[in-house]
Structure 1
Amino acid sequence: MNIVVLGLSLSSSWGNGHATTFRALLKAFAARGHDILFLERDVPWYASQRDCLDPAYCRLAFYKDLTELEGWRTEIAAADAVIVGSYVPEGVAVAEFVQRTADGVTAFYDIDTPVTLAKLARGDFEYLSPEVIPGYDVYLSFTGGPTLDRIERDYGSPAARALYCSVDPELYYPMGINRCWDLSYLGTYSPDRQPTLERLLIEPARRMPDRRFAVAGPQYPADVDWPENVERIEHLPPRDHAAFYSASRFTLNVTRGDMIAAGWSPSVRLFEAAACATPIISDRWEGIDSLLADGSEIVLADSTADVIAAIAGDGTAIGKAAQARALTAHTAAHRAEELEKHLLEAASTNTRLAGAA
């Protein structure tokens, strides 16, 4: 296939989980013999924080506005599939342009599905609107489970399919380094995640002053009361993620409120930590135990006491079991195969494409 992807960012991992998700998926998709053009909106906050400008697996190009995007009309029209990602600036206008222009399959890849649906429900059409959803041949969703039926039933998607995040095992693996922290967390600040971080990391740190903790990620407010035994790392580029997890006896997964409500919404960090054989402590949501089994492949914690009990023990066996599960079900190669299947299915069942052929 020859595909065009218009995503939030491939070039910069600063403050977003999209870049690492796209990098792993597209690298594996290219390994299956496909050609990829990634078009990224040139915005200043990513332009100053770029850590991937020459990917070996795809062509990366930038456009500064919708007028400049028109210059890629020929490539978009000729592609076998065009994928537009969530949070793309002026995403509704981009969708309308792609759906007018593309002769091949059109797809929306929602790496933020519960957030997207919550925005739609309150009339916030920042990057997607109800009107453009039926125009996408397939809606690829970060969230599985009942949400897929809702997207088809309530928004008229011809086909909603789960496409979870994944991990590149060539980049995420146990590095055999000393464990610096008893519990770590990697994630950009989010107001709806902060109470859980307080309960499952900051309060355990207060109660266990002899233990060491770390929180890596940008945009935390200056007024957060960090205990002295919590090390703060403002930004951790993807090249350092595996070392961060490998240096952690346990790591914490914290989920945004909309994603907890929807369930079936694994973060890319979940699979990356698992691939490093780092035992994961996570908040609880519907569907998580279908991805990693509670008690044997992950520890699900509801309270500060649950976390304290977990990190007082040895999580080695849980970490190794999570790694085995990630490598057999959640790698980028698995997702690339699923993506190929979904795009081919859309091409074969869509009446518009069949008529054009």
Structure 2
Amino acid sequence: MTSSLDIIILGLSLSSSWGNGHATTYRALIGGLHAQGHRVLFLERDVPWYAAHRDLPDPDFCELVYYRDIDEMIENHAGRIKAADAVIIGSYVPSGVTVIDGIVALKPRRLCLYDIDTPVTLAKLDRGDEEYLARRQLPTFDAYFSFSGGDILTRLERSYGARKAIALYCSVDASRYQATGEAFCWDFGYLGTYSPDRQPSLERLLIEPARQLPHLRFAVAGPQYPEDIDWPANVERIEHLPPADHPSFYSRQRFTLNVTRSDMIAAGWSPSVRLFEAAACGTPIISDDWRGLHELFVNDRAIVIARRSKDVVDALTTINAAGRLALASAARATVVQRHTGDVRARELAAALRELPEERVNDSRPHRQSISV
């Protein structure tokens, strides 16, 4: 394999960050690959809900091609798929099972999965939901790159038949996510698409504190929130913020909230990209708790852990400017050293180089699955 890699990625979306965290994750990773001299072709299904909200339709760090018909996409790119150093298929790709089978039939040199939703994927597979990945397909991949680390990697290999499970956390483009120096607009804010399993945490860690602290200002940015949510008067709602506006949003908060989906909490070691983005912008973070968080950010030095509404109220009312600066500086230093797109791109390239070059096919020996 040459020093410069030729990589094809089939992912949920690169062009639109509307309602998903995949786009910014791919942008940071592929931007890092581009800066290191690698070539990336990103194939994205042309779907109306993203086509109507594209905030990066023509990136300058990779080739982006939209497709509507799967068979036509595979036929048009068959030569490049066969010749690429690696083909990586992401989670939540529309009709993902069909896409994977079509790519496998071409026998690429290395076929990998990048699961940006690992705990959700496994929960779906456990209940027989094969929306974008079939359980039978897991042993087909040369590597299963997982958004989650920790003991879930062992489970992937022992219980689900993954050949090689490797942690590949999300990351942030630190050249784009920086403090803007703007004046504070809010004392506490949150950026994230509505999710039913995150909503109780948002209620407990932001909405209830907003009710208890009517003199402070709060903000929640993100789409798809139901109209029947009872927002306190001091909570400003922002429907959607494109990534270009994220640094400004974070920079105008005294603190920002990180809340995690229930499947991610149960799995542990599943940091949201928003966690890294906020830290890169120098905004102090108040977060729910889960296994592995302390390995990413040292509690009370780089992040505030909140389990109850009172924990948030105490943080907002007792931590002074010097304390906020110390938290923000420690978190940003951690992210710059360990969680940028450049760092993640080096990790991916190194892992790909270690994989043997062999044509995948349906006759490869499958691991024996055992019960979870």
- CA offsets 1:193-249 (integer angstroms, 9 cap, x no match): 000000000000000000000000000000000000000000000000000000000
CA distance in 2, matches of 1:174, 1:102: 46
Q: Which of 330, 337, 345 is the equivalent residue of 1:328?
A: 337
CA distance in 2, matches of 1:47, 1:75: 25
Name stretches of at least 5 consecutive residues in structure 1 with no aligned partner.
none
CA distance in 1, matches of 2:356, 2:277: 32
Name stretches of at least 5 consecutive residues in structure 2 with no aligned partner.
362-372
- After superposing on structure 2, the runs of 4+ consecutive aligned residues of structure 1 that deviate more than 3 Å are 350-353
Partner of 2:38: 34
Q: Is the 8 A contact 1:24 1:168 kept in 2?
A: yes
Partner of 2:220: 215
Q: Which of 178, 185, 190 is the equivalent residue of 2:190?
A: 185
Query: Are residue 341 (structure 1) and residue 345 (structure 2) matched?
Result: no
Query: Are residue 74 (structure 1) and residue 74 (structure 2) matched?
Result: no
Q: Is the 8 A contact 2:11 2:42 kept in 1?
A: yes
Q: Is the 8 A contact 1:107 1:137 kept in 2?
A: yes
So what's the TM-score if we normalise by structure 2?
0.93
**Sequence identity percentage:** 59
Query: Are residue 196 (structure 1) and residue 201 (structure 2) matched?
Result: yes
Q: Is the 8 A contact 2:297 2:331 kept in 1?
A: yes
Partner of 1:49: 53
SS at match of 1:116: helix
CA root-mean-square deviation: 1.2
Query: Are residue 9 (structure 1) and residue 13 (structure 2) matched?
Result: yes
Q: Is the 8 A contact 2:201 2:259 kept in 1?
A: yes
Counterpart amino acid of residue 234 in structure 2: N
CA distance in 2, matches of 1:239, 1:347: 39
Q: Which of 267, 274, 283 is the equivalent residue of 1:269?
A: 274
Q: Which of 309, 312, 325 is the equivalent residue of 1:316?
A: 325
Distance apart, 1:347 and its partner CA: 2.8
Distance apart, 1:352 and its partner CA: 6.1
Distance apart, 1:67 and its partner CA: 2.1
- CA offsets 1:18-58 (integer angstroms, 9 cap, x no match): 00000110010111111110000000000111011111111
Partner of 1:157: 162
Q: Is the 8 A contact 1:5 1:82 kept in 2?
A: yes
Partner of 2:137: 132
Q: Answer with 163-172 or 68-77: which moved more.
A: 68-77
Partner of 1:301: 306
Q: Is the 8 A contact 2:109 2:359 kept in 1?
A: no
- CA offsets 1:251-307 (integer angstroms, 9 cap, x no match): 000000000000000000000000111000000000001001110000010000000
- CA offsets 1:94-141 (integer angstroms, 9 cap, x no match): 111111214311100000000000000000000011111100100000
SS at match of 1:174: coil
CA distance in 1, matches of 2:176, 2:56: 14
CA distance in 2, matches of 1:153, 1:17: 28
Q: Which of 109, 116, 137 is the equivalent residue of 1:104?
A: 109
* Greater length-normalized contact order (CA 8 Å, ≥ 6 residues apart): 2
